[in-house]
Amino acid sequence: MSDKFIGKWVFPSDDSLLEQSARRGERYNFENIANDIIDKVHFEPEDIVMDLCCGNAALAKYVSKTCKEIHGVDHSEHLIRTANKIKEKESISNLHLYLSDAMNIDKLFREDFFDKSYCYFSFQYFNKRKRELLLAQLSRVTKRKGWIFLGDIPDKTRIWNFYESPKKFYREKISRILQFKEGECNLGWWIDPKEIVQWCDSHRLNVSIMPQDKNMPHAHYRFDVLIRNSK
C-alpha cells in the first residue's frame, strides 16, 4: 500500500508525535485534546470505540483508558508502525490497529459494531462526495443511538479568522488546482457547518455543532460535531 499522505498532510521527519502529524509548538498537547474528546463523547468502560484516521495513536492511547476496546484505522503505514510501537511500549492491550483506507471501514467492521466512533484532525481531508460516503459508513458501523464525533474541522464561515487576507487564500487555492492537489489549502477543505447539519437532517440523525473550548489551539476557526446515530 502506498503511503499517499506522507509529505502531503503527514510529515514524519523524526520520532516526535507532533512532527509526524505536522503540529508544532507548546500549544499542542495531545493529552488535553484527548481529554476534550473524552469530555464531549463520554466514553463508558464497556464501550467499543473507533478512532478513524488514528495516525500514530497520539490520541487513542489516552482514549483507550476510558473504554473496553478501541480500534484505530489509518492509511499511513509509517504512522500505524509508530502506533504499534506505542501500543507495545505502553502495553495498551485494548488497542487494535488496522492499516486501511478510511473509505473501507464498512468492509473492516460489521454493522453496529461500535458504541462510539470519532474522527479528529482528518474529516476535512476528504472531498464533499467522500465526506458524505464516510458519514454513511460511520452511521452503519456505529450502533443505533451510539455517538459519532468529528473534531477540529476548519469552519468556512470563519475562514478569515485564519487567513490574513483573501489574496493569500485564493493564491494557495489556485496553486493547488494548477498542481492537481486535493483540498483548497494545506488544511484540506473548509467546511460550512450547515453542510453536515443538512446531511444529518436528510438521514434523520440528530446533530450538534459544537464550538471548541477557547483553550484548544484552533478554537478561533475550527468546530466539532457530535452526531446521535438514530439511523
Query: Of 44, 202, 37, whose CA–CA distance to 114 is shortest?
Result: 44
On whether the CB atoms of residues 127 and 182 are closer than 8 A, the answer is: yes
Confidence check: pLDDT of 26 > 70:
no
Task: Give pLDDT tens digits for 82-137.
Answer: 999 999 999 999 999 999 999 999 999 999 999 999 999 999 999 999 999 999 99
Report the half-sphere exposure of 59 (CA within 13 A, side-chain side).
26
**Residues paired with 185 in a beta bridge:** 188
Task: Give pLDDT tens digits for 34-47.
Answer: 999 999 999 999 99
Task: Give the pLDDT mean for 25-41.
Answer: 85
User: Can you tell me the distance from the alpha carbon of 128 to that of 139, in angstroms, rounded to the nearest whole number?
Assistant: 17
Beta strand 222-229 pairing with 142-154: antiparallel
User: Can you tell me the distance from the alpha carbon of 215 to that of 76, in angstroms, rounded to the nearest whole number?
Assistant: 29
Instruction: For domain 28-229, give its CATH number from 3.40.50.150, 1.10.10.60, 3.90.1150.10, 1.10.357.10.
Output: 3.40.50.150
User: Can you tell me the distance from the alpha carbon of 26 to that of 141, in angstroms, rounded to the nearest whole number?
Assistant: 36
User: Can you tell me the distance from the alpha carbon of 72 to that of 54, in angstroms, rounded to the nearest whole number?
Assistant: 5
Confidence check: pLDDT of 6 > 80:
no
On whether the CB atoms of residues 139 and 148 are closer than 8 A, the answer is: yes
The cell numbers describing 145, all together, are: 443511538
Task: Give the pLDDT mean for 22-43.
Answer: 82
128-141 vs 193-202: helix axis angle to the nearest 10? Answer: 50
Q: How far apart are the first and last CA of the chain?
A: 33
